[in-house]
């Protein structure tokens, strides 16, 4: 029947492997027809190639009803002839509006023309290709979504890559996800002085400073501070730009599940 593949083995490169690291592929045993056909094994090697970083902004904060621009960027577009990605999101917070399709205006692929896109509930796939290779770094395309009018301030939506591809997989890609945060005044704003990450003022994504909570809470609203976390103290005081008297905004501050300390001891 001639030469060809007997089988295809699939291995996964460790996410922590460093660029340039390698692993031998060594035959311990190689046999055909129970040894009836002589075999000379040829060993191989796998080397970790530098991956191009494809990403969206870490956090986009916008009010309800706003059209948000989400640039999908790469840190090295050298010799890129095509791209594909699928971005997923929480459709109860943001959604795709057909009046605002993805655009390449001002991006690396502007000369390629309009991309091909396939939107759906909570997802959008986008692809583009050309015979002219790219160079440099920057945005491949800008995806546009709309913040729902019925979303509440403090709600968040992940922006997650379900797939990311360059040159039909010939260029390794590492993706980095992001978030959309709905802004606006909140009747109830949460704070956690130990929080590290996305902040929206909700229980799951609290502010890490009292000042942010004061700026966001509504007139006569309540600020709830988590008192059972790794850090229940803040050096902030009620003087300066966040002073209650300066804002003219009455509010309540409540410690939850433990004491908190505001200001110097």
Looking at the structure, tell me whether residues 163 and 191 fall in a common domain: no
Looking at the structure, tell me whether residues 202 and 168 fall in a common domain: no
CA torsion sign, 193 to 196 to 202 to 208? positive
Looking at the structure, tell me whether residues 141 and 115 fall in a common domain: yes
Predicted confidence at residue 35, as pLDDT, reads: 77
Q: What is the CATH number of the domain that holds 119?
A: 2.60.40.680
Q: Encode 118-127: b = buried (16+ Cβ within 10 Å), e = exposed.
A: ebeebebbbb
For residue 112, how far is the Cα from the chain centroid? 25
> Taking the complete model, does pTM exceed 0.75, yes or no?
yes
Residue at which a domain ends, from 153, 182, 211: 182
The pLDDT averaged over each successive group of 10 residues in the chain (265 residues) is 77 72 81 80 76 95 96 97 98 96 97 96 97 96 97 96 95 95 95 94 94 90 94 78 60 93 78
Residue whose pair of structure tokens reads 């939850």 in the numeric block: 256
Predicted confidence at residue 258, as pLDDT, reads: 93
As separate numbers, helices (DSSP H) first and strands (DSSP E) second, the chain gives 2, 18
Looking at the structure, tell me whether residues 122 and 226 fall in a common domain: no
> What's the rounded Cα separation, in Å, for the pair 85 and 72?
9
- How many domains does the structure of the chain reveal? 2
Looking at the structure, tell me whether residues 101 and 145 fall in a common domain: yes
Residue at which a domain ends, from 182, 214, 238: 182
Predicted confidence at residue 95, as pLDDT, reads: 97
Looking at the structure, tell me whether residues 252 and 155 fall in a common domain: no
> What's the rounded Cα separation, in Å, for the pair 207 and 214?
10
Residue at which a domain ends, from 182, 200, 230: 182
Range of 228's domain? 186-262
Looking at the structure, tell me whether residues 143 and 212 fall in a common domain: no
Looking at the structure, tell me whether residues 158 and 234 fall in a common domain: no
Looking at the structure, tell me whether residues 116 and 231 fall in a common domain: no
Structure-derived torsion over alpha carbons of residues 184, 90, 113, 72, reported in degrees to the nearest 10: 80
In a domain, 39, yes or no: no
């Amino acid at each position: 029947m001639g030469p060809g593949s007997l089988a295809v083995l699939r291995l996964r490169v460790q996410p922590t492997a460093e660029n340039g690291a390698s692993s031998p592929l060594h035959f311990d045993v190689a046999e055909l027809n129970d040894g009836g056909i002589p075999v000379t094994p040829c060993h191989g090697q796998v080397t970790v190639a530098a991956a191009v970083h494809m990403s969206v902004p870490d956090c986009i904060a916008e009010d309800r009803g706003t059209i948000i621009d989400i640039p999908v960027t790469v840190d090295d577009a050298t010799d890129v002839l095509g791209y594909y990605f699928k971005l997923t999101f929480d459709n109860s917070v943001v959604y795709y509006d057909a009046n605002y399709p993805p655009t390449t205006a001002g991006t690396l692929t502007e000369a390629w023309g309009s991309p091909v896109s396939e939107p759906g509930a909570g997802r959008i796939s986008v692809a583009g290709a050309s015979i002219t290779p790219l160079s440099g770094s920057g945005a491949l395309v800008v995806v546009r979504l709309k913040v729902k009018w019925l979303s509440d301030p403090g709600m968040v939506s992940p922006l997650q890559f379900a797939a990311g591809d360059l040159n039909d997989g010939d260029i390794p890609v590492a993706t980095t996800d992001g978030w959309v945060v709905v802004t606006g005044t909140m009747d109830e704003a949460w704070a956690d002085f130990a929080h590290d990450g996305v902040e929206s003022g909700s229980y799951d994504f609290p502010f890490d400073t009292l000042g942010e909570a004061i700026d966001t809470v509504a007139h006569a609203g309540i600020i709830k501070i988590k008192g059972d976390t790794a850090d229940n103290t803040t050096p902030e005081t009620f003087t300066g730009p966040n002073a209650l008297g300066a804002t003219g905004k009455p509010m309540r501050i409540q410690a939850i599940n433990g004491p908190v300390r505001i200001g110097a001891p």
